[in-house]
A and B are shown apart, each in its own frame.
Chain A
């Protein structure tokens, strides 16, 4: 089943009168439910921009060129108002951003619980779920620490716990292993892979890391604001269990 489907996605930044940056020049992309997809490409190729549009943080350009389309879980997202987009982000999506992720005045646990709160879950239930999510990324013992008391890699893992805590339909992560050494990186990757296998968690990972890309079901290569080549299937050995089994989860 198609979870996310985008057509003609464009994003242009206007910096001055004649200085425009075409961050996305027309992207068609489709993500299946239960898929684990990597988006790779050189710096500045539009990976983050695409992730932000797929995550409803930005709208695609509407003004010129063919009309963009974006559907999530079968619903049209282009016409949606900001309030409804916010609700969907809170309840059906999880995010890990490239470099700034946590509210500095809140502890790790409070940061994770904030996502529960926005999704309408509070109190003891939120606490339990948040602790479990922190445990999943190996940070249960850091629950009471604030971001300034955590390493960059630990902060990113807290963000991952926050992205996963509500078991959202879709997790979008921008360089989730960017600040980790290869050992930690493998651990986080294994966690994501397991989550994908066991819960059919749909994941979109923006990455530079070949190991991460190799672990995904599919790799989307970007260059200069476009999808560069047809999606390449990952090696057979790394493929997930058949989609039908996962869909029942």
Chain B
């Protein structure tokens, strides 16, 4: 091992090659992780339920008004168990469309109106959950990213679209939509929503009769996807989205993005890997005479291959560890910078970190193996004469 330190330049170059590849793997892998977490969070969130929005809407973030009366129409449909009307609106009109991740949202529904059907588990870092008793009060529970961005905790007063709200709770990070959500009582959300509408539209809308979306919990044994189709058939103005729809729409486009990211990471890794194979082969070829001497004075082939492979694996490990450290640095810096604007791009998981270092170690060892085997199989005299 002391050998490594005494062959500085070549070793440094090899390590650098691995470092770059692993750096890319860590950074892009973390980005892919984040996307996966979003998709999976969505999948979990939408599983076993159907989300309704007004037909004019633009998918998940839509904020077209939907008469509250629709609730009764939906509830009458076969297979519907519970209907929870909600109001969703952008926290900030300028934000959103341009942002890569989910924009900050205000969300309101009557606490407990899901009758215990919601299985998505929210945990509270501070304070408490909203209750039905909060209706009529200007109180809010903040998602972790919003709380950080506003630098607000339980007990603070914040401003949501020009209205003051008291923070009563802060959520633990979920790595998905709730992180970017401020939850308020249903009535408060209705008021904010109507105030956000353009004056022309506002005329005909009454705050206490409006919602923007509804969550439908099917009766036990009813297929959410079939129910979604049935609702759409019976209520032409309504778009119904089941977990399956989510997976198909959002999931598949995210999967493509994901594949692109992983692809970039793999390409940089292959390029890095080839340069490692190259430098490793050159550095071992350079040492052919030295290997010849060792073989001549009685070093066995096995032992020489083992020495070289262990050394190459160590080079891979060091390169991988440095690449991981640099990748983690970038991920942390970019995340910290993005957090204030609510854009958290990366999620560096333990799995990604371990994979990266393991991969580089194995890559190094493999890159060393072939040339090592070749050199160890030369007869000692040819190796000694090698130029």
Q: Which residues of A contact B289 (CB under 8 A)?
A: 100
In the complex, whether A162 has a CB less than 8 A from a CB of chain B is yes
Number of A-B contacts (CB under 8 A): 61
Given known contacts A103-B290, A105-B3, A118 and B381 CB-to-CB distance under 8 angstroms: no
Given known contacts A58-B379, A86-B295, A104 and B300 CB-to-CB distance under 8 angstroms: no
B387 nearest CB across to chain A (Å): 10
Of B3, B298, B381, B384, which is within 8 A of A86 by CB? B298
Q: With A and B bound together, what is the CA distance between A146 and B2 in angstroms? A: 13
Given known contacts A101-B293, A103-B293, A86 and B7 CB-to-CB distance under 8 angstroms: no
Q: Contact size class for B?
A: 20 to 34
Q: Which residues of B contact A52 (CB under 8 A)?
A: 381
Q: With A and B bound together, what is the CA distance between A97 and B300 in angstroms? A: 19
In the complex, whether B337 has a CB less than 8 A from a CB of chain A is no
**Do A119 and B298 touch (CB < 8 A)?**
yes
Q: Which residues of B contact A89 (CB under 8 A)?
A: 296-298
**Do A162 and B298 touch (CB < 8 A)?**
no
In the complex, whether A87 has a CB less than 8 A from a CB of chain B is yes
Interface 0/1 of A78-104, CB less than 8 Å to B: 000011001101110111010011111
Q: Which residues of A contact B381 (CB under 8 A)?
A: 52, 57-58
Q: Which residues of A contact B229 (CB under 8 A)?
A: none
Q: Which residues of A contact B299 (CB under 8 A)?
A: 86, 90, 114, 118
Chain B 264-318 residues near chain A, CB threshold 8 A: 289-290, 292-301
Q: With A and B bound together, what is the CA distance between A135 and B264 in angstroms? A: 60
Chain B at the A interface: mostly helix, strand, loop or mixed? helix
**Do B297 and A95 touch (CB < 8 A)?**
yes
Q: With A and B bound together, what is the CA distance between A203 and B290 in angstroms? A: 24
In the complex, whether A115 has a CB less than 8 A from a CB of chain B is yes
A117 nearest CB across to chain B (Å): 9
In the complex, whether B380 has a CB less than 8 A from a CB of chain A is yes
Q: Which of B290, B292, B298 has the most chain A CB atoms inside 10 A of its CB?
A: B298
Chain B 149-199 residues near chain A, CB threshold 8 A: none
Of A57, A58, A83, A104, which is within 8 A of B290 by CB? A104
A129 nearest CB across to chain B (Å): 15
Q: With A and B bound together, what is the CA distance between A223 and B301 in angstroms? A: 34
Q: Which residues of B contact A87 (CB under 8 A)?
A: 298, 300
**12 residue pairs A–B, Cβ–Cβ below 8 Å:** A55-B296, A57-B379, A57-B381, A89-B296, A90-B298, A97-B296, A102-B293, A103-B293, A105-B6, A114-B294, A114-B297, A146-B6
Q: Besides the contacts A55-B296, A86-B299, A114-B299, what 10 more A-B pairs have beta carbons closer than 8 Å?
A: A57-B296, A58-B379, A83-B300, A87-B300, A89-B296, A91-B298, A94-B297, A97-B293, A103-B290, A105-B2
